[in-house]
Amino acid sequence: MFFILSKIFSFLTHPFSWVIIALIISWITKRPKLKKYTFRGGIIALLFFSNSFIFLEFARMWEVDGTKIEDVGHYDCAIVLGGMAEYDSNLDRLSMRRGGDRIWQAINLYHLGKVDNILISGNNGYVMADELDEAVQFKKVLVENGIPEEDILVENKSKNTYENAVESKKIIDNRNDIQSILLVTSSLHMRRSRAVFKEAGFEHFDTFTTDHYTGKKRGYKFDQFLIPNVSTLTNWERLIHEWIGYVSYAIMGYL
């Protein structure tokens, strides 16, 4: 129930949903003041949430800083959180999303000798079932990219970040050879993930963030200040999802 409600809540908190709802109300209402204010509110929201500069400044305050590859030490296991791909049933293969940088960086860390094992955590996070079994399917991809099967661990029960932590802990507890852990996930997702993993009993681990929107240095282009960007609406949805997820998890006692 919590999983389904969280998905519905995510829809209702998407900035584009706010714009559409405001414009629909302004179109159907017979009240002049309500029509005026909802129309103006919808346009203002559209301009605000499609501005790249505004989004990046908010993202900068939430993202967890990244680490250069050369500064990463040696770890027994990298735990890579799911939510990286969709399944293309027509071509019978995984299709990467932005979060796919997580698995790419983990593969690189393995081949550089920075990690000895990779634990892929996460199954299908969609409300309606499809052919995606992410952790299992990514294991096949890793084997095809030269990583021995015995160095790949799979956790395919979890459907959210809280379950990622709980189920991963069960696997790690059964492996005496894994003491040092590197948690790998997206920079927007890391703040919540780090807190959840600590609450789940992971006492000592380091983090490695991926697919950053920002960095320590600001370097904006002129169009990011003035030209609306439709994709920024989706970026806002990801950031707001993390804010809501963090608060919701705190209320539920997950962090």
pLDDT band at 84 (very low <50, low <70, confident <90, very high): confident
The answer, yes or no, to whether residue 246 has pLDDT greater than 50, is yes
The answer, yes or no, to whether residue 6 has pLDDT greater than 80, is no
Determine contact, residues 80/121, Cβ cutoff 8 Å.
yes
Widest pairwise Cα distance in the chain: 69
Q: What is the pLDDT of residues 93-103, one digit of tens each?
A: 888 888 899 99
Average pLDDT, the chain: 91
Q: What is the pLDDT of residues 200-218, one digit of tens each?
A: 999 899 999 999 999 888 8
Q: At 147, which amino acid appears?
A: I
Q: At 195, which amino acid appears?
A: A
Q: What are phi and psi of 114, to 5 degrees?
A: -80, -25
- Write out the DSSP string of the chain: -HHHHHHHHHHHT-HHHHHHHHHHHHHH---HHHHHHHHHHHHHHHHHHT-HHHHHHHHHHHSPPP--GGG---EEEEEEES--EEEETTTTEEEE-GGGHHHHHHHHHHHTTSEEEEEEE----SSS--S--HHHHHHHHHHHTT--GGGEEEE----SHHHHHHHHHHHHHT-TT---EEEEEEHHHHHHHHHHHHHTT--S-EEEEES-S--SS----HHHHHS--HHHHHHHHHHHHHHHHHHHHHHHT--
- What is the DSSP pairing of strand 75-81 with strand 85-88? unpaired
Burial of 68 (0-12, 13-18, 19+ CB in 10 A): exposed
Indicate if the alpha-carbon torsion angle 140, 141, 145, 147 is positive or negative. negative
The domains of the chain, with CATH numbers, are 2-63+229-252 (no CATH), 69-210 (3.40.50.620)
The pLDDT value recorded for residue 5 is 66
CA distances from residue 110 to 114, 120, 241 in whole angstroms, order as listed: 6, 13, 30
Read off the pLDDT of each residue in 57-84 and give the average, rounded to a whole number: 95
% residues pLDDT > 70 (the chain) = 93
pTM of the complete model: 0.89
Q: What is the pLDDT of residues 121-153, one digit of tens each?
A: 987 655 444 667 888 889 998 999 899 999 999
The pLDDT value recorded for residue 7 is 66
The pLDDT value recorded for residue 85 is 83
- Top-confidence range, 68-72, 93-97, 222-226: 68-72
- 156: closest CA among 146, 171, 142? 171
Q: What is the pLDDT of residues 175-204, one digit of tens each?
A: 999 999 999 999 999 999 999 999 999 989
Read off the pLDDT of each residue in 211-233 and give the average, rounded to a whole number: 92
pLDDT band at 4 (very low <50, low <70, confident <90, very high): low
